[in-house]
């Protein structure tokens, strides 16, 4: 902690542009390290069978697509985007199914009512 404080004070004494460049470099290294760790975790997901992937809401092509991204990008971002797409599609299907379940009995009752009155 003492070393980081000394480095921060030294960099601030040099000027703002050096501090910004050092900050960007540290953030870049941090993001690259995170992407590397997440890539290894996604590779472990690739070792699961189809049933194991389905349990967590993925398919093999999701994992392969995430690993096909650049080594500099975080593949878990790709997986979370695909998961969000699938969840929203499933939610839309449920919504449509619920609407149909509500309207179809009402339509059937209306048809029976019309038939009885005719």
> What are the sequence ranges of the domains in the chain?
2-117
51-103 pLDDT, tens digit per residue, is 988 888 888 888 888 888 888 888 888 888 887 777 777 778 778 777 777 77
Cβ proximity of 65 and 82 under 8 Å: yes
d(CA 97, CA 103): 10
Q: What is the pLDDT at residue 66?
A: 87
d(CA 66, CA 72): 12
For 2, 34, 53, 72, the CA distances from 62, given in Å and listed in that order, are 44, 20, 10, 18
pTM: 0.54
Is the alpha carbon torsion for 56, 52, 35, 70 positive or negative?
negative
């Amino acid at each position: 902690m003492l070393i980081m404080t000394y480095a921060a004070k030294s960099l601030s004494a040099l000027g703002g542009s050096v501090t910004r460049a050092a900050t960007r470099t540290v953030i870049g290294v941090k993001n690259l390290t995170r992407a590397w760790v997440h890539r290894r975790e996604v590779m472990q997901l690739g070792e699961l069978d189809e049933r194991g992937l389905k349990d967590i809401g993925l398919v093999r092509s999701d994992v392969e697509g995430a690993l096909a991204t650049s080594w500099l990008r975080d593949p878990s971002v790709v997986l979370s985007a695909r998961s969000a797409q699938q969840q929203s599609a499933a939610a839309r299907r449920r919504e449509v199914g619920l609407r149909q379940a509500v309207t179809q009995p009402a339509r059937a009752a209306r048809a029976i009512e019309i038939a009885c009155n005719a």
